[in-house]
Structure 1
């Protein structure tokens, strides 16, 4: 398997999600690739496996079978501590909920994210945080706390924080779902453009078919979750 040109490569991945009576609910993905700097929309109805796929790619869940490579590392074999460190360096997250720290300013929220990756000096953290907030259009709001920002502005801070460590991969799980349509479109375009500028691959989960079709590739997650009969011991 050649992982040098792929940010994500999955082969024969399986994960038991639960049991229902004599049946097993299982996630199974035979093959998936995400090239370096590629942007892909993950689509499909609720419960089809979109978030499970993100959790596996991020190492928050481990497969029961198969291989998962991210940024050239086989992450399903990493220890918890090594996976945590790898995630901090190589993977950024943007969610529907912004998960910003209320007592801290926008600048501080982004700078705090840098402490979990390469751990640069305090001055370097502030410089990087300012650069990213300027890039997402918030240079005049760097000293504002989350409760002083609009929903769209909070998501912009979350985007800046997610990219603070220059990750090779950004995972976006319904990041526009809580926003009004106009703001959602602006945030979506912003995520795309900043990922392009930062040379970062993107996996974008969305139920919005209009947004999904704006990305170069769509991956339909329907069929990833199966139910099968429990095999007797």
Structure 2
């Protein structure tokens, strides 16, 4: 049976950092279909990172409904949100957030560990992803702190995808790359994500990346009323 329910549904969602300040985000309705590739843009302070943190379950809205993969995430406890994120959501951070004293393979397998997936299968998947991303087996035992920026970035992608998540969230992952490297990286990222047919929410201020995606949205068009001083 085909599941027509969207991967992500936000309805009357609101979030503020302090009761004394205006809402950072107010979104009457946002639907993101399963398998969709959404490019989300907007100026600094417009609430992009706040929205990603809500989608990842790092923070919780004060009002409205946040539904992911049919689950009402806004009703979950912090522990339930953490468990849901580990199993169903891959996250690529702007600063990559690799563990510097762990090697490449162990950094990737960390996501599988938190998702409580079988080690043998996860290792096989990790090695396949790293190979697809252009990282040779000779690098698997190399420490993360010894890698170039481009290599760290690819390890971060593999870590986000090793659990085969239904949703991939990316926060400005190309900001440290030049234009040629950005285009090459985007193609590898999207090709790799297509293998598992995950929904992608990609945030960037770089509008040149927009053609890689099936839909683009300015976060301000979602009903955002963010104030610069309240942004994350």
Taking structure 2 as the reference length, what is the TM-score of the superposition?
A: 0.89
Mapping for residues 1-233 of structure 1, pairs under 5 Å: 4-18=4-18, 24-120=22-118, 122-140=119-137, 141-222=139-220, 224-226=223-225
2-side partners of 1:225 and 1:182: how far apart?
32
Q: Which has the higher strand share?
A: 1
Q: Which has the higher helix share?
A: 2
2-side partners of 1:25 and 1:111: how far apart?
37
2-side partners of 1:46 and 1:86: how far apart?
29
Computing the radius of gyration from Cα coordinates, the structure with the larger value is: 1
1-side partners of 2:63 and 2:111: how far apart?
32
When structure 1 is superposed on structure 2, of 53-62 and 200-209 the one drifting more is 53-62
* DSSP 3-state at the match of 1:11: strand
Taking structure 1 as the reference length, what is the TM-score of the superposition?
A: 0.89
Q: Could you list the runs of 5+ residues in structure 1 that have no partner in the other structure?
A: 229-233
1:19 Cα deviation after fit: 6.1
RMSD: 1.9
1-side partners of 2:187 and 2:31: how far apart?
23
Aligned residues: 223
